[in-house]
Structure 1
Amino acid sequence: MLKEMKRELSFHPEIDFLYADARGDNNRQFAQVQAFLKKKIDLLIISPNEADPLTPIVDQAFQQGIPVIVTDRKTSSGLYNAYVGSDNYNIGYLAGQYLAHHLQGKGKVALITGLPGSSASIEREKGVKEALQHHPNIAIQVQLNGQWLIQVATDEVQQHLRQLQEVDAIFAFNDQMAIGAYQALQQNHAKKPIKIFGVDALPGAGNGLEQIAQGHINASVLYPTGGAEAIRTAVAILHKQPYQRDNLLNTLVIDSANVQLMKMQADKIDSQQQDIDKQQRLLNEQQKIYRNQQSALNILVISLVLAIIFAGIAIYSLKSNWEKNKHLEEQNAEIRKQQQQLIDMSEQVKEVSAAKTNFFTNISHEFKTPLTLILAPVEDLLKEPSLPPAHKEHLLRIKRNGLRLMNLVSELIDIQRLAQEKLKLRAAAQPFQRFINQIVQSFKPLAHQKHILLSVEHHTTISNLWFDADLMEKVLYNLLSNAFKFTPNNGRIQVKTEQNTFGDHVLIRIIDNGKGIHKNHVEHIFDPFYQGAAYSTGGSGLGLALVKEIVELHHGQITVSSKENEGSSFTLRLPVGDAHLTDAEKEMAIEEIADLPKASPDLTTLQTPHDLGMEEWEHLPPKTNTLLVIDDNEEINYFFRDKLSEYYQVYTSTNAEDGIKLAYTKVPDLIISDVVMPGKSGIDLVKLLKKDTRTATIPIILLTALDSEDQRAAGLQAMADAYITKPFSTTHLEAVIQNLIASRKELKQRYSSELSATVDHTNAFSELDRRFLNDLSAIVETHLANPQLNVDDICRQIGISRVQLYRKVKALLHCSVNDYIIHRRLKKSKYLLQQDMTINEVAYQTGFSSPTYFATLFKQKFGLSPSSFKKQLHHKS
């Protein structure tokens, strides 16, 4: 690899190449990278000895903005710019296939692996084992750890010689360990020949190609070193050119059949490189001679030119010196004037910024005064023992939403204080496990209410941690609150604490199995006021931004990993000890943390109203008219049930998908829907329901906080019947509901084609019968102009058999299906004749095959012909 790198670097003399060999020692490699970082290198190329021990220092380089190229082996975190190397899993898989082929599908195999923590060893082991799974008659008898070293492999083979006598082949994860295995077997005079296979196939004395040629090992999987590819990738990164992140090199198996060809190619490459190096040295010598001669000539020419120029300059300078001095004085005066103007403007900007900041802070504080004056009387009223339950529920709703406003104002003030660096850290050594337990305990009632399994696990020996209890309480409450918001009932939330590998940081993880976060939103999740459209829960978008600021104030880090529909994990990484804190950030005395309250304002705003009395509405007697309310805020749904259930049968849903299903099954008289909801929006819901014949005639009211003209237009263009913005007047909303239902009934009475004479209105239809009649009416009305409409068409669309359709229509409408269709057509024709349409036009528009047939049926039904009916209308007008 080093030879390839130097060979490629010969084309880039402008690059300074620093190199260090860790010789298989993790600590040495860690220290070498630290030394490189102190030298402020421009790019790091590293082949990690083991993944986990080297991950922190590689991550540190990456986070400092230094490009990192990982070769041969990978780190655990994946924080690097590019990877160059072979696919170690593919190498292991190819070796397994080759073993199976040579053993003819039967035998016993021994594996000699590399360092246990090395990604190359892990992936090669996985590949060879998965390849051998396809050959059940081949068993892995022995597995030894050679640590990539020839001597270690030799010792391991000698110690397990008795077990190895039974195997047919040995697969070592590199050629050096394969050579060690061969030497150990030769020294101990193995009883039977054992095939030995390795990985690398490097040229040169003592390496894989030579050993295959001499018959010491049977084959080796070529592992391209990737030195040239690593340098090419590094040059592309340094020159800000496009590059590939994963550079996987090709491989093949080298055995006695092709080893000579590979040796010839390697020797040829070495010979060509030697020629190139020799020519480069000669070229350098010639360039040196040329540069010396060129320099001498240049000095001579320059001296002559300078002598002439200086003479001219001296003459010109004497003439124009006084003019330049005068011009410079004018420029200096202008510059001083502009400088003063900039100072004045800067002062003005500071004053304006300070005024904005003061206004923002003052108005945020001003919100707290009226909120306090609202909440304090509410608290007093709630203590009244004689308070009626209905009034108490209204007061509780005022209190919950008042606390929610108070929490939003507090978050705004905290964000502003952090931005102005006025929020100071007051850290003390705290028993953080007890601190976490108390906070989690305060969420137990909510967990019980939502049937969520809430657990705490501590996997650390650290008892005390330095942090600001008040600020850290906000962090944990915010993260747990979010977890409860996005975790469904019967879900799971875990809080875990542990230490990192070096023991200098504590990790606090909050894990849920909720809806997760889409990958497009994860990178913005900590931005102030950011809310992904599909993840809005009515929050402000300030919580996680405040969490990030507080954690960074503690000199820590917060990260998130999430997969949509599987859950999320937030990780706090806080330093152990107090060396990272300044004296101003420490409190002088260690104070005991007070017991946390059973529920905080933040938690209270999360909870849905308890004792809502759902059963009361379910057992109320059925009403004449039904409403469907769709809003993702459960309190809004409760409010509508409370206000409207006296006059209407009220159904509710918290999302558009369930709301659409309810609309199809319940067929309500009116629908009230929010616009901004998780998943489908209210606009989408309106478009879907208005396109469906089952729900097209249902009035829909959009109720939302979006009140711009464009948003109103979008709602009305989707065919919503009304668009009302929050906050709204309850009286106005009730009037709109009554008017829409009344006008729809009036339209039905005037223009509906329903049978009036044959239907027994005293008979109260069940909900299923009502839905059936609505579906039947919608299908017939839609296809009324089609003369080919028949019973089979209706059966196919409504989803029942001919016999069932006849029985159902006969039982409910006391007529046949054909009579029902004819009656609907005649009723519609009577209305159309009033619209100044000709008799022929009306006949064809209502689905009659001929005007004569239409006239005959019309006279039978209404006692006079269509022409006589039109004359009567004319005389009346």
Structure 2
Amino acid sequence: MAFSQCVGNDAWRQTMLEEMKRELSFYPDVQFIYRDANGSNERQVAQISDLMRRHVDLLIVSPNETQPLTPIVDSVFREKIPVIVTDRKTGSGLYHAYVGADNVAIGRLAGQYIHQLSSKRLNIGMISGLGGSSASIERQRGLRKVVDSLPSMRIGIALEGDWTKETAYRLAKANLSELLKQDVVLAFNDQMAKGVQQAYTEAGHTDRKILGIDALPGEGNGLEAVNKGVLYASLLYPTGGAEAIRTAIAILEKKPFIRDNILGTVVIDHTNAALMALQSQKIKDQQEDIDKRQQLIATQQEVYKNQRTTLNTLAVSLALAVAFGALSLIVIRSNRKKNRNLEQQNIEIKQQQQQIISMSKQVQEAADAKNRFFAQVSHEFKTPLTLILAPLNILQTERQLSAEGREQLHRIERNANTLLQLLQSLVDIHRSDNTKLQLKATCTALPAFIRQVLANFKPFAQHQHISLSFSNQSTVTEIWIDPYLMEQALSNLLANAIQFTKERGKIAILLEDNSFGDFIYIRVQDDGTGIAPSDIDHVFEPFYQSQPNHQGSGIGLAHVKQIVELHHGQITVSSKINVGSSFTLRLPVGNAHLSQEEIYRLPANAPPEQHGIAFATDQHDLSSFYSHKAATIFIIDDHAEIRQLLRSIMNKQYNLVFAKNIGEAEEKLRDQLPDLIISDIMLPDGSGLEFLKTMKGSTGLSHIPVLLLSAVDSEESKLDGIRLRADAYINKPFKVPHLLAMVENLLETRKQLKAHFSSIPQGVHNSMQDHSSMSDQDKRFLQHVELLVEERLSDQKLTTEELAKALQISRVQLYRKAKSLLNCSMNEYILQRRLTKAKHLIREGFHINEVANEVGFSSANYFAVAFKKHFGQSPSAFRKELFKR
């Protein structure tokens, strides 16, 4: 239950609130919310709106004025929240009940009482309340009805107050001469009547007849003023607080109630004021006695409740103690007997444990040997397969090839692929029997991840004229998965979809949310041959092959199911023959379902200078070795024929540099920087992954994209490559178009970065020292600074402090470094780059306002001043000079 009071600081409304609380003391289960608007209509409307949002069960409203509160009270009524209006009514009448006195009757009674004071003609002075309040309007109406009906009475002066004593006092002072001409003054509440009395007293007129309305009990209120003779009389205006609560309880309990509760009134003057004051005091004393008794009852009930709880606890504890005591005796006797048997069993178990440890060591040694064998076999088989399939791809593109020759090449390709599938089946079976998959989940951008997996299959799909598409209907942008394992799962599903989809078919991946947002669905759909109903219940079983002519190990979908369940998810399939199939992965969102062991945390890399290799980064040295017309690719592979194969398929497009091992690669990288590195994983003098870790940790080489090309088809190697920031990973044997497409994509990304880095024209570095005298470390520092400044050149908020933070040095260090290398401060350097680029953009035909915004100036005027100061002429003059040329 809630009560919205227009103003709560006057005595009448405080009395109303006290009556409500007094009545509510009989209903301890009712929660009472009180809001005081302090006389502001806007604030009261806002408070009632807040109470609506809190879904109160019933609202009692005491409006300040009629019209401003009518719309919000109507809204509460339409929301089917019971509304009780008290004291003053609203304009529409949309409420469940009204509690208050009949203000028209009060005005009429006041007129009748004044008429009885004298048989002579009477002049009445009227002090009304706020003009917009229903109480003021109705009281005036009742008074004027009496005055208009009696020729012996008239209203001489009518003043409008705001129900406060201070305002009435100021009005009386200002209109004292007119008020003194009146025989009687009627104020619409006792406080305003006391304000008029104060003005009269200060003027020396203490015998004037002043009437008020309210007759509230208590110190300083109307009843006391009448009793002491300060006011001549006052009309009782009951607050109705108790009646409002009673009506509210009847509504909440769905009992009958009266809609219009009109409270009675009476005139209080010197004849009955003492009696009314005595009754009021008696009621107050009785209520205080009731409150004390209720508090005592509540205290006794709490004591009783605590004692009863304690007694029940003691009884239950005693019963449990007896039961446990008896049970303990039985258990002790049983344990003594079991302990003797266990001692003998422990001796036997220890002997068996020693035997198991010995056997486990032998089994582990055999397993390690087996693993090494499979790794070596995979590497040795896949390298010659690469040397068979890659040249085949090249020969098949020859136009002069005869039909018979092309058929022979297709026959060689089919048999080589069969050999590759047999090898893969052998490896898969070994993995399924001996490998325990472990989840190492990281927070992954799922849409980008799916697009990356799809990109790997586009060459195969295009070759068969199959459409690949991706639709993202999910609001989830990140998900916790093991990227390597999930790529295996999606790749397996896509490979199956491509295999069983005819030419010009369609394959789609759909990303959707479930209705609760706690799971996400990844659907792989195709319009291929479909799966027979008899096979659909067995497709996830190991070694099951639904089609007799299907070549493979038969464990692909079983492996996918294992990966999905490892992610605490589910996989389902639906299919129709000659219509297509749909595989749905249901994966949980967030990481609350993952244990600490299942969440992968990448260890912090050591600082670049601790890797033991000092790499040169001066790109200008490349000009003496390579042509600027082609990108430079560094190939690291210990197999001579692989190097020769890559040379034959790439030397027409790119500059190539070769190395047989890590030592040779490190030596060559000291003198030159390639645009791309292709590296095998298994190298004679160490792991290619260790070289990748060293290179990605180096400031001078970390920006170079790395493509891992290896016959090692182990989960650990791929996962380590991803964690060490490898940009791509291709297994041997590889398809030549696939390799070339991957190389082209990586180089294009590198080219875009270089184009962005060098977008400032020549002439920017006029203030720099000669590069030839700088150390490699200083050159790397300047390259980093140039890249950071260029990326944020249009940002008006770019400061030296932000640059220092990005460079991980202090502001003082950055200032000293800039002075040493650039011969100017960092702010001057930024300004110089902005102005030089601005000059370049003006040459390109951009508008001056666009140029100012593009190079980070806050206004065109400031840009013009800086440009003229630096180049000796304004931007517009420079632009006109260009047009003349």
TM-score with structure 2 setting the length: 0.34
Q: Which has the higher contact order (CA 8 A, sep 6+)?
A: 2
Which structure has the larger Rg over C-alpha atoms?
2
TM-score with structure 1 setting the length: 0.34
